[in-house]
Structure 1
Amino acid sequence: MKRRTFLATATGVGAGALAGCVGSSLPASDYDVGMQHHSFQPADVEVSVGETVVWGNSGSRGHTVTAYGDGIPDGATYFASGDFESEEAARNAYRNNPGSSAGGNIAPGETYEHTFEVPGTYAYVCIPHEPQGMDGTVTVVE
């Protein structure tokens, strides 16, 4: 094989292998909050009562969306990817099933959504990337 043919082939194979590492093919129009590397984009959003926020994993790593139990308004419905009823349940499930949908993991290219019915500020986190500061807020207004 000639050197140029070999280099062209190797470059094509290398680019194909890396394609899955760069990010998902999830279009930005499919979500309100993107999840990339160690951040929510944007980290803080404002919506009206009754609106739904969609989080989309536009990155190449798994993420969670997990409300802080003491970070939601009184009377509000708790939310977490995996549909857990409390922060403790979400953390335990992730600890026992890391990287799995059973642990609340949102894989690259997937979404999670929640409708907010009570006004106030909701604080949430990505469990596996919490040490890197991956957290955010949703402010719900009348």
Structure 2
Amino acid sequence: MTQPQTRRRVLAALGTAATGGLAGCASVFAASEYDVGMRTQAFAPETLRVEPGTTVVWRNTSTRGHTVTAYEDTLPDEAAFFASGGYESEAAAREAWQETSGGRLETDDTFEHTFESPGQYSYVCLPHEEGGMVGTIIVEA
């Protein structure tokens, strides 16, 4: 076998192995099944615009546990508080996270909330807040 043939075979084998390896890393979730994905330390997308009455679905698309918790003091007037785990306030969600990892969404878990009032809704993943895992839903007519 000549050197160019050997090199081609090695490169072809490496290309096949790399492609197969990356295929396992691809998300197994169809984007149509959720509106906001949760990566290792980020919401994707970080900002989402919707109309009033829209139900937004978050899906944990990573291998880490995450939460969705509204920053209560930034919610529009008359807007409902939201948090994975069903907590009624940001303080309750934070306390539950500290005590029992309350509100934790494991891989493939979803959380949803319907946004009725126009305005900007900021939220956070409590265990990854220091890493900057925050997001925003903008509700506009």
TM-score when scaled to structure 2?
0.80
* Larger-gyration structure (1/2): 2
1:1-142 correspondence to structure 2 within 5 Å: 25-98=28-101, 103-142=102-141
Amino acid at match of 1:86: S
Q: Distance in 2 between matches of 1:72 and 1:125?
A: 13
Gaps of 5+ in 1: 1-14
Q: Distance in 2 between matches of 1:25 and 1:59?
A: 11
Deviations 1:59-101 (A, max 9, x none): 1101000000101101100000011110000000011112xxx
Deviations 1:26-47 (A, max 9, x none): 3322110000100000000000
* Structure 1 stretches of at least 4 aligned residues deviating more than 4 Å after TM superposition: none
Is this contact kept in 2: 1:24–1:57, CA < 8 A?
Answer: no
Q: Kindly tell me the number of residue pairs found equivalent between the two proteins.
A: 119
Taking structure 1 as reference, are residues 23 and 78 closer, same or farther at Cα in structure 2, changes over 3 Å only? farther
Q: Aligned to 2:73, what secondary structure does the other structure show? A: coil
Q: Distance in 2 between matches of 1:80 and 1:106?
A: 11
Q: Aligned to 2:95, what secondary structure does the other structure show? A: helix
Amino acid at match of 1:111: T
Q: Distance in 1 between matches of 2:57 and 2:119?
A: 18
Is this contact kept in 2: 1:65–1:81, CA < 8 A?
Answer: yes
TM-score when scaled to structure 1?
0.79
Amino acid at match of 2:123: Y
Amino acid at match of 1:106: L
Over the aligned positions, Cα root-mean-square deviation in angstroms equals: 1.5
Q: Aligned to 1:132, what secondary structure does the other structure show? A: coil
1:25: Cα distance to partner? 3.5
Amino acid at match of 1:136: G
Q: Distance in 2 between matches of 1:134 and 1:70?
A: 18
Q: Distance in 1 between matches of 2:114 and 2:49?
A: 13
Gaps of 5+ in 2: 1-20
Q: Which residue of 2 aligns with 1:5?
A: none
